[in-house]
Structure 1
Amino acid sequence: MTANEDQEMELEALRSIYEGDEVFKEISPVSFQFRIGELEDSKAFILDVTWPETYPETAPQISLDAFFNNRISAETKQLILSRLEEQAQANLGTAMMYTLFEWAKENQESLMENHKAVVTAVTLASNSDNTTSSPIARKKEKKEQLTKAQKRRMISRTDNKGELPRGWDWVDVIKQLSKTGGKDDD
């Protein structure tokens, strides 16, 4: 078989295996994303995998450049990539995507054992906003402003508790029934 036929068969297999699974995303017929771990997990990461033209005879291109991975240190990313490259080299000539994904899931703990979350300026800024206690620094939530006409219409439709009166739409129901006719109109 040619490399193209192998790719088509593997793509069909991946689609059937991961159909409806949120961890797998097909970007294009030769480019995929696979999330290892749960979204809330601090040790989760996303693999970006792209097949070269000669895949599976050559290893796929694997990267951790997804924005989701920005909290992972460069050393940890390099470790993950080198270990995945070893697995890819061991499986050359065969359909290896499922094998790589499953290997990464099984070895997530060992891959991320030295993981220390990277602190970014965005997280620092959001944390400093929470620590300020002065009332001037906090922004007040804006309420939706209604015009006088909108307020009048709302009040005329509701009772003094702000609820619509019982049967407020009965006129519409009766009007609809008069247009369609009753059961006895045969």
Structure 2
Amino acid sequence: MGANEDQEMELEALRSIYEGDESFRELSPVSFQYRIGENGDPKAFLIEISWTETYPQTPPIISMNAFFNNTISSDVKQSILAKLQEAVEVHLGTAMTYTLFEYAKDNKEQFMENHHPIHSATSISNIISVETPSTAPSSKKKDKKEQLSKAQKRKLADKTDNMEFEGTSHEKECFDFLVEVK
């Protein structure tokens, strides 16, 4: 069997196996992504496998460059990729995409044992505290007024027809505007 026939059979098998699996994504007939771990799991990661023209006789291209993996250090990514490459060598010449995804799922905890998110909560809180109004330079910007949609303005106008207006200054401006428009 040629490489293309092997790829067609594996593609059909992957589509069948992962049908309805939200973690699996077919980017193209030769490129696939699988999310290892649940959404919101700090140790979740995404693996992308792309087949070369001569796959499975030659290794697929395995990547962890997806935006989803931005909080994972390059050392942890390299470690995961190295372990996956070892599995590739064992399975070279056979359909291995499913095997690689399952291997990653089975070893997720081991793969991510040295993972410490790059953007920790403390660094985010430090960034936020730097930008608080008490430390920010004072500027004479006008406070933004609440913007009403056309529908809200019409409703307000309908409610206030033939009535004296009571409300905030912004609502009064809207009321006056609507009265003029009518």
CA separation in 2, counterparts of 1:125 and 1:15? 40
The structure 1 segments of at least 4 consecutive aligned residues displaced by more than 2 Å after TM superposition are 123-137, 139-147, 155-159
Shift in CA distance, 150/87, structure 1 to aligned 2, threshold 3 Å:
closer
1:88 is paired with a residue whose SS is helix
Alignment match, 2:2: 2
Deviations 1:54-77 (A, max 9, x none): 111111110110011111111111
Unaligned runs of 5+ residues in structure 2 are 161-182
TM-score (norm 2): 0.73
Letter in 1 for 2:146: K
Q: Residue 143 of structure 1 corresponds to which residue in structure 2?
A: 146
Q: Alignment RMSD, CA only?
A: 3.1
**How far is 1:158 from its partner?**
6.2
Offset at 1:126? 7.0
Partners of 1:23 and 1:71 in 2: how far apart? Answer: 18
Q: Which residue of 1 aligns with 2:40?
A: 40
Question: What fraction of aligned residue pairs are identical, expressed as a percent?
Answer: 56
- What is residue 82 of structure 1 aligned with on the other side? 82
**Any residues of structure 2 matched to 1:124-135 within 5 Å, and which?**
124=123, 128-129=127-128, 134=133
Q: 1:141 to 1:80 in 2, by over 3 A?
A: farther
Distance in 1 of aligned mates of 2:58 and 2:94: 10
Question: CA separation in 1, counterparts of 2:64 and 2:9?
Answer: 26
The alignment covers a number of residue pairs equal to: 156
1:154 alignment partner in structure 2: 155
Displacement of 1:124 in angstroms is 4.5
Normalised TM-score (structure 1): 0.72
Alignment partners' CA distance in 1, 2:14 and 2:146:
49
Query: Structure 1: which 5+ runs fail to align?
Result: 160-186
1:150/1:62 CA distance change after superposition, 3 Å: closer
In the alignment, is residue 107 of structure 1 matched against residue 110 of structure 2? Answer: no
CA distance in 2, matches of 1:6, 1:18: 18
Distance 1:74 1:156, change over 3 A: closer
Matched residue, 2:31: 31
Q: Name the structure 1 match of 2:166.
A: none
